[in-house]
Amino acid sequence: MRAGIDVAPLVLDNAGTARYVRAIVGALEARGDVELERLTWGGPGRVTAAVRDVAWYPLALPYARARRLDLLHCTTFRAPLRAPLPVVVTVHDLAVVRHPELFTAWTRLYARTLLLPVLRAAAAVVTVSAFTKREVVELAGVREERVHVAPNAAGEPFVPDGPGPVAGGDYVLAVGTLEPRKNLARLAEATRRLGVELRVAGAVGWGSVGIDAPHVRWLGRPDDGELASLYRGALCLAYPSLYEGFGIPVLEAMRCGCPVVTSAGGAMEEVAGAAAELVDPYDEASIAAGIERALARREELRAAGLARAARFDWAASAEAVVGAYRAVVS
């Protein structure tokens, strides 16, 4: 089977989508039963990204080496509405549909005009969680049998006893791009009430998210080795996001033996199961109480998190993706 796969997200950043693309491409190439051709265009600039959205994805990508390929796999919701070959689309979340107010004007416009039609037009949709599958079925009206769940995973260096020093000091860790749905203002208030330092690891995003408080320290965007060190040294990871399609930091933290506090009722609860403290992300008191419980249960949550994280594997995710491929070319 010959599949063209969109790797353009790799030029943008090292956030969740790029991590997914890098890992799933590696897992697919390791199998030996799928011949992948990596497809990309342009660089990280805003103008180039806009051209990629409005021209490369809908017009150029579907015809790139189409005669040599059996299918096209678009690794985000940016994908063509029409193509001369079957299109498989990975959906990481539908946050922009559920919470458009949390996104930039450009993302809202693109989502309003193309996101749901792209999902309806795809031969198959791959989601990173069962939660996101339910969202795709409900919000896009895609039939359940066309949606395949292939959960995210995590690997090196996210292990409990990896190389390099463990970050020092007593701190609660937050991980993610600085943007509204990460809920950093409420988390900052919760940690202020507890009198504990909050360290925030993530790139500047959008929405004028501020973290200006005496007890909050912004670390920028660390590389994976530095991030693993931060997980291993933290009192806990606090990840009370308002909406995620998966929540990769939850899994990375559990793999590092770091207790997790995260939001109840969505994809993050699906990932963490009973191995984390679950909180109401809209309530600072609930977040603070969850952090207190996590600190009291630190060793219990560490063991439970390591066991839970072992259930996620990129090879298994690649098998599910190949299942979607076979469904559209058989």
**For the chain, which domains are there?**
2-153+313-329 (3.40.50.2000), 171-309 (3.40.50.2000)
Compute the mean pLDDT over every residue in the chain, rounded to the nearest whole number: 92
DSSP category for residue 202: -
Output DSSP code: residue 240.
-
Q: Which of 24-28, 106-110, 242-246, 304-308 has the lowest mean pLDDT?
A: 106-110
The pTM assigned to this predicted structure is 0.91
Tokens 């896009």 correspond to 140
For every residue of 15-43, DSSP letters joined together read SHHHHHHHHHHHHHHHHSS-EEEEE----
Q: How many CA atoms lie within 13 A of 299 on its CB side?
A: 0
Q: How far apart are CA 239 and CA 248, in angstroms?
A: 10
Nearest alpha-carbon partner for 294 in 230, 240, 221, 227:
240
In this prediction, what percent of the chain has a pLDDT beyond 90? Answer: 75
What phi, psi does 281 have (nearest 5°)? -70, -15
**pLDDT band (50, 70, 90) for residue 225:** very high
Q: What is the distance between the alpha carbons of residues 292 and 60, in angstroms, rounded to a whole number?
A: 52
pLDDT tens track for 117-176: 999 999 999 999 999 999 999 999 999 999 999 999 998 899 998 776 677 789 999 999
Residue 126: predicted pLDDT:
98
Higher pLDDT pick, 262 / 205: 262
Confidence (pLDDT) at 16: 67
Q: Is the pLDDT of residue 193 over 80?
A: yes
